[in-house]
Amino acid sequence: MPKQHLNPPSLFPSVQHGFSQVVVASGGRTVFISGQTAWNADKKIVGRTLGEQTGQALSNVRAAVEAAGGNLRDIVALRIYIVHQAEQNLVSVGDALREVFPSNQPASTWIGVSSLAVPDSLIEIEATAVLD
């Protein structure tokens, strides 16, 4: 089933920030992906900056959705937890999202938190996918 990505003119233009305002999906299997941090397969954090850690977390999201038989186009929603969220962080996260999702961007919620389970983690990304 195709997914429909909507960005109504009555809402702010979000595509420039790397996400769609609305994604409509029907049918298929729904996949819920646990929060992914910048850990690699050896449980070591990749990257010291928010941008670097975002790239690794999104790489982990890709690996997870592919393990379920899908791909990045199947991701319909993200929940992004950012440690000590500040406006200047929006650029690096948005850049990473636009690189991974150049079109058909998932719906997204960004949440500022004081810390995550692992002290050196700067970001954690949960995802929901609908496989056709």
CATH code for the domain in which residue 116 is found: 3.30.1330.40
Burial of 82: CB neighbours in 10 Å, binned 0-12, 13-18, 19+: buried
Question: What is the pLDDT averaged over residues 104-124?
Answer: 94
- Are 101 and 77 in contact by the 8 Å Cβ rule? The answer is no
Please tell me the pTM assigned to this model. 0.88
| Rounded Cα distance, 85 and 123, in Å | 10
| pLDDT, tens digit, 9 for 90 and up, residues 3-50 | 888 989 999 889 888 888 999 988 789 999 999 999 999 999 999 999
Residue 112 domain boundaries:
4-131
Of 2 and 66, more confident? 66
| Rounded Cα distance, 78 and 89, in Å | 17
| pLDDT, tens digit, 9 for 90 and up, residues 72-108 | 999 999 999 999 877 777 889 999 999 999 999 999 9
Number of domain units in the chain: 1
Q: What angle do CA 89, 95, 99 make, to 5 degrees?
A: 150
